[in-house]
Amino acid sequence: MKNYYIIKNGILKREKNTVYFEGKDCKKFIPINDINSLFIFGEIRINTKLLVFLSKNKVPIHFFNYYNFYIGSFYPKEYLNSGIVIVKQVEHYLDPEKRMKIAMEIVNSSVFNMIKNLKYYLKHGKELRNFIDKIQALKERIEKTKSIEELMGIEGSCRENYYLAFNEFLRSNFKFNNRTKQPPENEINCLISFGNTLLYTTCLTEIYNTQLNPTISYLHEPLERRFSLALDIAEIFKPLIVDKVIFNLINNRFVNESCFDKQLNFCYLNEKGKRIFLQKYDEKLRTTIYHKELKRKISYQHLIRIECYKLIKHLLNDKEFEGFKAWW
């Protein structure tokens, strides 16, 4: 099954037993059994007939506005409900010690994968080693944290140093000065924000296909109007998926200034840039690695679902949760 990304404006509807897209210069049938999830970036007209069809076939839709900001998802009725898993999710959230254990492992895994990325580029100079040492020193403080707020502070400091280290190995015309999100102020911030948003929705799709409730989380606070567990899971995979895609796009010259539109203190991907990013992002999700424990090849996207299963086993006291850490 595939993710489908619709950038053009048009109509999306049910045509017999398949999904049909009709745009100004594009007509395409999408077999329903081939759809994992839909990502909508264009101005699309849909109707309830389509939504009922997609819901019946368990296909989530994620919507983005003109500037590529995530605006919401059509989340079909959950079909793998498990009362015991929800009870255990809530129990682990309400118990400060149990919550901290999961949250610390999420941050520990995320920071481990950041360091792994930077070590790959060590040949670019000793300044990169200084950044790695700073992040490693911060990582050693994770196990000593007493609160979620303190843990989030350490994670933020690690990520700040990690992003600054990008300047040591990315092409010189892509510079990171400081992280700006709403809105992203330059090209590198634009790429990070867009990639992180895509990963959040990808994680949401994978959570949907498990017994987990996406609103109950451990590192991020559960809030109204967001699926905070997807934010938790995404933290682990940002360095391995989003950041690797960005490194590839920049250093292999897939993107340049013509891929971005700029306004006052605001930078976003235009249609050309969006197409390139989505292509490379989807290629990354479909890339397979040999999993040491499972002893078979699995895709990066499936790794995310396995992470959800690992969390379920932890909640049910089957096996302690250990976040994914790259070994290659």
What is the pLDDT, as a whole number, of residue 176?
87
Bridge partner residues of 268 (DSSP): 261
- Residues near 150 by Cβ (< 8 Å), separated by ≥ 6? none
Positions of the chain with pLDDT lower than 70, given as ranges: 124-125, 224-225
Amino acid occupying residue 55: S
Bridge partner residues of 3 (DSSP): 37
CA–CA gap between residue 149 and residue 145 (Å, rounded): 9
Print the domain residue range for 67.
Answer: 2-74
311 lies in the same domain as 172: yes
What is the pLDDT, as a whole number, of residue 127?
85
User: What does DSSP assign to residue 242?
Assistant: I
For residue 277, how many other CB atoms are within 10 A of its CB?
A: 24
246 lies in the same domain as 155: yes
What is the pLDDT, as a whole number, of residue 291?
87
Structural domain total, the chain? 2
Residue 100 domain flag: yes
Query: Which of 19, 44, 74 lies at the terminal end of a domain, its last residue?
Result: 74
Bridge partner residues of 262 (DSSP): 267
For residue 315, give both structure tokens: 């909640």
* Model confidence, pTM: 0.93
Burial-class residue 38 by CB neighbours within 10 Å (0-12, 13-18, 19+). buried
CATH of the domain at 164: 1.20.120.920
What is the pLDDT, as a whole number, of residue 218?
97
Residue 47 and residue 55 in contact, taking contact as beta carbons nearer than 8 Å? no
What is the pLDDT, as a whole number, of residue 225?
66
60 lies in the same domain as 94: no
What is the pLDDT, as a whole number, of residue 264?
79
Collect contacts of 122-130 with beta carbons under 8 A, ≥24 apart. 124/168, 124/169, 125/168, 127/168, 128/165, 128/168, 128/169
Amino acid occupying residue 63: F
What is the pLDDT, as a whole number, of residue 29?
94
Q: Token pair 């992180």 is at which residue? A: 196
17 lies in the same domain as 89: no
